[in-house]
Amino acid sequence: MKTEEIKIANLKCGGCATTIKKELFELDGVKEVKVDNDNDSVTVMYKEGIREAITQRLHDLGYPEATEKNGLLLKLKSYSSCMIGKINNL
């Protein structure tokens, strides 16, 4: 198992955190997910060999790694993911 902190863009609130946790736990091999809104990061414990799947899932949700280009489309995706997370928190 490996634990890694991944810096991401577009992280705004608890709704974002809820969506990120739910989606990453759906990946086979992810054992733990912690979202830190203050540091714009996600700490993930996972099996070796699935890092790319984790970062791709984050990207697809609108939360690219901080080193990636962050265009308007990704920002819009993150707002959708955030809203879904807020609804799931109700």
Q: 30: which residues sit within 8 A by CB, 6+ positions away?
A: 24, 44, 45, 46, 50, 54
pLDDT tens sequence across 12-44: 888 899 999 999 999 999 999 999 999 999 999
Question: Which pLDDT score, from 0 to 100, does residue 90 have?
Answer: 67
What mean pLDDT value characterizes the chain? 90
**Number of domains observed in the structure of the chain:** 1
Percent of the chain with pLDDT over 70: 97
Backbone angles phi, psi at 32, to 5 degrees: -150, 140
Q: What is the CATH number of the domain that holds 13?
A: 3.30.70.100
- Radius of gyration for the chain, computed over Cα atoms and rounded to the nearest angstrom: 12
Cβ–Cβ < 8 Å for 19, 61: yes
Q: Is the predicted pLDDT of residue 68 greater than 80, yes or no?
A: no
Using CA atoms, how far apart are residues 59 and 55, in angstroms rounded to an integer?
6
Question: Whole domain around residue 29: which residue ranges?
Answer: 2-89
